[in-house]
Amino acid sequence: MIWLVATALAGPVILPRDAVDEVSAARALTGRRLALLVGPSAFDDPAFVPLRFTDDDALELAQTLSDPDLGRFDEVWTLTERPDTTVAGVRAAMAELGAQTLSRDDTVVVYFSTHGTLVDEGGHLFQELVLSDTRLAAARQTGLEVAEVTRWMDALPSRRKLLVLATCHSGSGKSALTPGVTEALASIKGPPTLEEVSEATMVLSACAWSETARESAELGHDVYTAFLLDALITGDLDGDGAVTASEAHETARRATWEFTAGAQRPQAVMNVLGADPIVLSGQRGPAESATIGSWSRPLTAYELAVDGVSKGALPGVSAIAPGPHAIEVRRPDGGLVARQHITARAGSQIDVQALMRRDLGRLGVGVGYLGDTAGIGGPTLEAELHAPRLLPVGWDATAHGGFVVAWPYTSVMGGLAAERILRPGAVQLRAGAGLEGGFLSRGGDEPLLAPTLVPAAVASVLWLPPAAGFVRMSVTGAPLWWTDGGDLHGGGMVQVRLVAGLAPPGR
């Protein structure tokens, strides 16, 4: 598997002008770019089959990252031969890189292309990276644990950190397992529970758990790494002049899937707020396109379609042109979970998960006005309850109640309706039908009684801001009858309501 882990919350750095030269000042403002790339060319233990391209993977990636027109990295350490590729040698290089990572704005990339293995201790599995002197029978003592690397990276002052592990743990390809671990895995239903490796904001994998990370003689590299290298040149999805970590992975993900005919399916989970801050190649400028997608694990295998054209399974992102688009998201079984109309802006990054917002419920209060065909009306105080999950996707169940101050008498009104979402999105257009009822009283001993239930039509506009809230304006029309002194009166009524309130988000 290939894992990528990143954190990014860069803060400002202030230095006195007379204390640094222009180059140092520029680096302080933009951060240094540092990379450590490890690809052992050989392994001491014959239990690990030779890998043909691990050193080439590291060397070519170093060349791309060092290119002043591409990666523009300030320092790149490349380890491919003993003693640098022993556990002690790699730890020494990590210590050296750590000593040079001084700013919160630094970008740190660490890459391993090697075998992976698992160690079972007390029923818990630990991921180990295989280095030149690692022994399979004692991998826990002689390997480099993934969690050790991520703990070290988390401790660096930089807030832009990226770890890429070109390895897998399936027992074939770029991995090797002891018979005991192989037997333990065979008894596990579903993906095994591994040591928690990091609290970082991105995790990428080049294949699903049971799949194999492959090397390719045709490509001359690890398959995913080969397409990752291409992506550093061609992977600028939004046309802003820079290739970010998420853009590079998405480009490599699609190419890997196609090259292996679906046998190797790269996976991804990311938690990035706003623009991906980890630029691997190029320099950011004005964007030409927008991107849409999601890296959320719960959306794995959900299908995204834009304007009726499938963009493939999530997680992942796709480039779309600026302008209006119709978006659909479907479950793996084909069931529709979201249908939205959006307007994309150049450079915007649209999260599908946000478009799929289905609140647990919505409760609001507001004001309105009720009038009838006789020209009589009055202001109202309103409360509304919405139950989005009672009906299929695209519908809402709504209930409302209100107090009519004067119409021409004090009254209490309420109703139930089912609303169809005609235009999904953050601003929704809706239409529906339901039942209205009310009780009117002019005081004294003669109450005025309106029929408890009459058919009603409703049209509304609903705004769902990113926060857990809503604003809704609706218009309801219904026939109306009431008695006054024994006489039956009839006509129609129109009620306008404006309410706002809370909408706790659901999953």
Q: Based on the fold, state whether residues 299 and 279 are members of the same structural domain.
A: no
448-459 as b/e, with b when 16 or more CB fall inside 10 Å?
A: bebeeebebebe
**Mean pLDDT, to the nearest integer, of 171-182?**
81
289: in domain = no
pLDDT at 15: 41
Q: Based on the fold, state whether residues 181 and 319 are members of the same structural domain.
A: no
Q: Based on the fold, state whether residues 326 and 400 are members of the same structural domain.
A: no
Q: Based on the fold, state whether residues 410 and 366 are members of the same structural domain.
A: yes
pLDDT at 152: 92
Query: Which residues, in sequence order, are bridge partners of residue 386?
Result: 362, 398
**Mean pLDDT, to the nearest integer, of 364-387?**
88
* Percentage of the chain modeled with pLDDT above 70: 80
pLDDT at 232: 96
Tokens of 138: 């004692």
**Mean pLDDT, to the nearest integer, of 444-464?**
75
> Is the predicted pLDDT of residue 18 greater than 90, yes or no?
no
Specify the higher pLDDT residue, 68 or 199.
68
Specify the higher pLDDT residue, 62 or 426.
62
Burial, 81: exposed, middle or buried (Cβ in 10 Å; 0-12, 13-18, 19+)? Answer: middle
Q: Based on the fold, state whether residues 351 and 366 are members of the same structural domain.
A: no
Residues 6+ apart with CB under 8 A from 147: 126, 127, 195, 196, 197, 198
Q: The CATH number of the domain where 27 resides is what?
A: 3.40.50.1460
Q: Based on the fold, state whether residues 339 and 369 are members of the same structural domain.
A: no
- Report yes or no: 5 and 160 within 8 Å, Cβ to Cβ: no
**Mean pLDDT, to the nearest integer, of 372-392?**
84
Q: The CATH number of the domain where 379 resides is what?
A: 2.40.160.20
pLDDT at 441: 65
- The strand pair at 107-113 and 116-121 is best described as unpaired
Q: Based on the fold, state whether residues 335 and 478 are members of the same structural domain.
A: no
Q: Which of 230-239, 381-390, 463-472, 483-492 has the highest mean pLDDT?
A: 230-239
Q: Based on the fold, state whether residues 81 and 122 are members of the same structural domain.
A: yes
428: in domain = yes
Specify the higher pLDDT residue, 395 or 108.
108
pLDDT at 23: 47
pLDDT at 77: 97
Least confident of 168-182, 243-257, 356-370, 463-477: 168-182
Tell me: the pLDDT tens digits for 52-65? 999 999 999 999 99
Q: How many CA atoms lie within 13 A of 493 on its CB side?
A: 28
Q: Based on the fold, state whether residues 332 and 262 are members of the same structural domain.
A: no
Collapsing DSSP to helix, strand or coil, 147 comes out as helix
What is the torsional sign of CA 62, 68, 72, 76? positive
pLDDT at 159: 82
Q: How confident is the model at residue 482 (pLDDT cuts 50, 70, 90)?
A: low
**Mean pLDDT, to the nearest integer, of 92-117?**
93
Least confident of 194-208, 240-254, 379-393, 419-433: 194-208
Mean pLDDT of the chain, nearest integer? 83
Q: Tell me how far apart the alpha carbons of residues 6 and 244 are, in angstroms, rounded to a whole number.
A: 12
Tell me: the pLDDT tens digits for 217-240? 999 999 999 999 999 999 999 999
| β-sheet with 309-313: strand ranges across | 309-313, 303-306, 323-330, 336-344
**Mean pLDDT, to the nearest integer, of 116-132?**
88
Q: Based on the fold, state whether residues 323 and 396 are members of the same structural domain.
A: no
pLDDT at 505: 64
288: in domain = no
What are the backbone angles phi and psi of residue 327, rounded to the nearest 5°? -115, 135
**Mean pLDDT, to the nearest integer, of 435-451?**
65
Tell me: the pLDDT tens digits for 77-104? 999 999 999 999 999 999 999 999 889 8
303: in domain = yes
* Longest alpha-carbon distance in the chain: 104
**Mean pLDDT, to the nearest integer, of 250-272?**
82
Number of domains observed in the structure of the chain = 3
> Is the predicted pLDDT of residue 16 greater than 50, yes or no?
no
pLDDT at 269: 62
pLDDT at 187: 65
| Domain endpoint, select from 323, 355, 387 | 355
Q: Tell me how far apart the alpha carbons of residues 504 and 507 are, in angstroms, rounded to a whole number.
A: 10
Q: How far is CA 236 from CA 63, 165, 285, 492, in A?
A: 19, 22, 11, 59
270: in domain = yes
pLDDT at 451: 53
Q: Based on the fold, state whether residues 66 and 145 are members of the same structural domain.
A: yes
| Domain endpoint, select from 283, 313, 336 | 283
Cis peptide upstream of residue 46 (ω within 30 degrees of 0): no
pLDDT at 11: 39
Q: Based on the fold, state whether residues 137 and 269 are members of the same structural domain.
A: yes
Instruction: Tell me which residue of 172, 315, 167, 334 sits closest to 254, measured CA to CA.
Output: 315
Q: The CATH number of the domain where 312 resides is what?
A: 2.60.40.1120
DSSP 8-state class, residue 18: G
| Domain endpoint, select from 251, 283, 315 | 283
Q: How confident is the model at residue 395 (pLDDT cuts 50, 70, 90)?
A: confident
pLDDT at 215: 92
pLDDT at 350: 86
Instruction: Tell me which residue of 237, 263, 276, 262 sits closest to 107, measured CA to CA.
Output: 276
Tokens of 218: 């045709």
> Is the predicted pLDDT of residue 110 greater than 90, yes or no?
yes
408: in domain = yes
Q: Tell me how far apart the alpha carbons of residues 226 and 220 are, in angstroms, rounded to a whole number.
A: 8
398: in domain = yes
Q: Tell me how far apart the alpha carbons of residues 382 and 351 are, in angstroms, rounded to a whole number.
A: 34
Q: Tell me how far apart the alpha carbons of residues 412 and 1 are, in angstroms, rounded to a whole number.
A: 64
pLDDT at 25: 47
- Report yes or no: 290 and 346 within 8 Å, Cβ to Cβ: yes
| Domain extent at residue 387 | 362-502
> Is the predicted pLDDT of residue 424 greater than 70, yes or no?
no
113: in domain = yes
